[in-house]
Amino acid sequence: MDRVVVDCLEDVEEPRRALVVDDLAETREIVGHRLAEVGFTIAYAVDGLDAYDVFVRDGSDLIVTDGQMPRLNGLGLVRRIRQISNVPVVMLAEFGSVPDCEEAMRVGVDRYLQFGRDLERVAGIASALVREDAARAARKIDWASPLSARIEGGMTAAEARSLAERELGAELQKQLVDCRGNIAEMARRMGKDRSTIRYHLRRLGMLDSTRAGESVGLTSSNSGVRECEKSVERASV
């Protein structure tokens, strides 16, 4: 698709739909109001089962869900959604924790945020996710292809390099979580030597050079959640 056409698609957007999922009415309204302020049309659901039914019936460009809910919680909802759709999902947890964040990443959440700390950022993050999702769909590029193929598909060289960098960071962060920070295991899974893995971890700010040994990881709860949050951007459609 021509770059000018893509720019036009990004500049003249159709109304965007967001599905806000929380068992607390007050929280639903607060989040919905923030999203409506940046142009989203809002639908609401009271738990995961309700949200799944709404999504299947009406669709949505974005889902913002709580983690803890009756009948079907946020993780259960995302597992079901990922069987049928790659719609962007933001999990807005009341209390963030590293284990919850790690599990959210594994099931397919795009961004993991904490309600008290990140409420002001939800609307901006949601808008960015929807724009990125629309741009990927418009370009119809194979995101696993080499840079040359991506450039031929309509991306500039700078865009292709930037995307490759984000994909590498996302894959490294995923492997950090899956391998519990064990660099040797990361190297084995990624087919690289340990020095290469360490180099890219340091270059991308994921490895503290003052630490000794062959393992890195998410240590404190707050810093761990922040690092985990950064890694929840999908590398592919």
Question: Do residues 131 and 196 share a domain?
Answer: no
d(CA 10, CA 132): 9
Q: What is the pLDDT of residue 93?
A: 85
Q: At 214, which helix (H) or strand (E)?
A: none
Q: Judge whether 176 and 217 are in contact, CB under 8 Å.
A: yes
Per-residue confidence at 28, pLDDT binned at 50, 70, 90?
Answer: very high
pTM above 0.75, yes or no: no
Q: Look at residues 96, 112, 136 and tell me which one is the last residue of a structural domain.
A: 136
Max mean pLDDT among 4-18, 53-67, 160-174, 195-209 falls in 53-67
CATH number at residue 76: 3.40.50.2300
Question: Do residues 150 and 106 share a domain?
Answer: no
Count of structural domains, the chain: 2
Length of the chain: 237
d(CA 144, CA 214): 29
Q: Look at residues 114, 136, 158 and tell me which one is the last residue of a structural domain.
A: 136
Q: What domain range is 91 assigned to?
A: 3-136
Q: Look at residues 119, 136, 153 and tell me which one is the last residue of a structural domain.
A: 136
